[in-house]
Structure 1
Amino acid sequence: METLKQAIRYGVVGLSNTLITAVVIWVMMKMAGCSDVVSNIIGYTAGVLNSFVWNKRWTFKSSVGWTQGAIKFGVVFGVCYLMQLGLLLYLNKHLTIDSYYNQLLAMAFYTVINFIMNKYYTFKA
């Protein structure tokens, strides 16, 4: 039951992260004319800061220290980010749809992997 509650909370936090990330990526790509990769990096940076605070305090209610938690969170983020970036580049190469939709697919993949790793590694006390 606790995992279900955490998954729901993670989903709420994730929606805010996704909105922040997607809007920043869109602004960077469509208004600032940045590349997919630069837009993706900036978008994820904005979302990850929001994610760490809310997931530590609210989703997982973790007693892991801020420094230790931040280091683990950074490692998990890096692994998940590289996995989703690889997927994004693969999709961009093999699909002919607007690359923005590939960004959204890669974000969904990232979300699932990130929850699992944060629950069982980052915020596990």
Structure 2
Amino acid sequence: MAKLIDSTVPKFLLVGVINTIVGAGTMFLLYNLVHCSYWFSSAANYVVGGIVSFFLNKYFTFQNKVWSWGQVVKFTVNLLICYLAGYGIAKEAAELVLSGLDVVIRENIAMLVGMCLYTVLNYFGQRFWAFR
């Protein structure tokens, strides 16, 4: 069995920094300045970041040189599952734990927590399924 933590982790985190700057910037700007919904803003993050992530992680992080539409589908399904799980759990947890706070504060915190959950789930999904 492959080690869970290896040389791909630092590369994945570097790609994550790039994705965070681009995607989170998009998400927080849409939510706080354009006043789009929680789900629209967070989804926009992963559409924009997902495109960057696919190419950087495929070729740089996981050194995967094979091209197939199957990989694109696996990558997209992985992103969708990680997004729904990470942001769904974070939103529900924020509703329960932070119920006394204003909805804008709760949802901003939920988006931050959702980003973290998504990242962990996404790494394992890409490494062991999409780009295996």
Aligned to 2:91: 89
Letter in 2 for 1:35: S
Tell me, which stretches of 5 or more residues in structure 2 are unaligned?
A: none
1:57 and 2:65 matched: no
Higher relative contact order (CA 8 A, sep 6+): 1
TM-score (norm 1): 0.90
Is this contact kept in 2: 1:76–1:117, CA < 8 A? Answer: yes
Secondary structure in 2 matching 1:4: coil
Q: Which residue of 113, 119, 127 corresponds with 1:111?
A: 119
Q: How does 1:1-80 map to 2 (within 5 A)?
A: 3-80=5-82
Separation in 2, partners of 1:101, 1:2: 29
SS in structure 2 of the partner of residue 77 of structure 1: helix
Distance in 1, matches of 2:110 and 2:21, equals 15
Contact 1:64–1:123 under 8 Å retained in 2:
no
> What root-mean-square deviation, in Å, do the aligned CA atoms of Structure 1 and Structure 2 show?
1.8
Q: Equivalent residue for 1:101? A: 109
Separation in 2 of the partners of 1:48 and 1:105?
18
Give ranges in structure 1 of 5+ residues lacking alignment. none
- One-letter code aligned to 1:38: F
Residues 89 and 101 (structure 1 numbering): CA distance in 2 closer, same or farther, change over 3 Å? closer
CA contact (8 A) 2:91 2:114 kept: no
Q: 1:2 to 1:88 in 2, by over 3 A?
A: closer
Which letter maps to 1:58?
F
Number of matched residues?
Answer: 124
